[in-house]
Amino acid sequence: MLIGGFQHYDYYDTKSFELSTIAFGPGVLTKLPLSRTSDLNINVHLALVPFAGSSVGPVTDTSFYRDYRFSFGWEGKVESAVNIGKYGTLSLLYFYYFIHSFDNTGKDEVPAGTLGNNHISILKPRITAHIYKTLSVGLEHNIYFNDHYQAGYTPLHYTQTEQRIFVMFNWEDPQRRGHYYL
């Protein structure tokens, strides 16, 4: 078990939202052996977000103008993975962000004119299969939930999913062979 302070930098750029955060806070990393070759990893983090950029609504793919709002808030992360020896890994990751937006001059507006709050959740189930030595293939299904609440406006709710197929190669130090999380 490892308990400590952590710094996180997250950046998401999808069609339904754009989010960039820098955060600082405590976390706990655990590794529980299930057998000689399998283990369960659980990581929990909670952090303050002093600065973030958050969009509302569909995002444009251009740099001609800024399509996000300056924000602050907090985030929580829970990551769990079952490493099944030489066969593969099953994992589930959940990230939650509470982001409060303020106006472009850097001061918070009155409640009737506030730029609102975003509640963003990201759920990532993933499966990885080891193919040969440190070569693996995997499938990840990402589910993004973005709920925006702003006084005087109808709440906005966006849900988007993405599927990813990936190939992963892990470069190992010969002295630490087999001690890396895949």
pLDDT higher than threshold 80 for residue 64:
no
Residue 51 lies in a domain: yes
- Which of 71-75, 76-80, 108-112, 145-149 is least confident? 108-112
Q: Is residue 123 in a domain?
A: yes
Residue 181 lies in a domain: no
Number of folded domains that form the chain: 1
Whether 86 is covered by a domain: the verdict is yes
Whole-angstrom distance between the N-terminal and C-terminal Cα of the chain? Answer: 18
Per-residue tokens: 174: 């010969």
How are strands ordered across the β-sheet holding 2-13?
2-13, 18-33, 38-54, 69-84, 88-101, 117-132, 135-149, 156-169
Better-predicted residue by pLDDT, 94 or 12: 94
Confidence class for position 182, pLDDT limits 50, 70, 90: very low
Query: Do 84 and 38 meet the contact criterion of CB atoms below 8 Å apart?
Result: yes
Query: Among 16-30, 109-123, 124-138, 150-164, where is mean pLDDT lowest?
Result: 109-123
Question: Given a cut of 90, is residue 47 above it in pLDDT?
Answer: yes
pLDDT score for 88:
93
Would 182 be classed as within a structural domain?
no
Residue 133 belongs to a domain: yes
Query: What residue numbers bound the domain in which 147 lies?
Result: 2-176
One-letter amino acid of 130: H
pLDDT tens, residue by residue, 81-135: 999 988 999 999 999 999 988 765 545 555 555 678 889 999 999 999 999 888 8
- Is residue 103 situated within a structural domain? yes
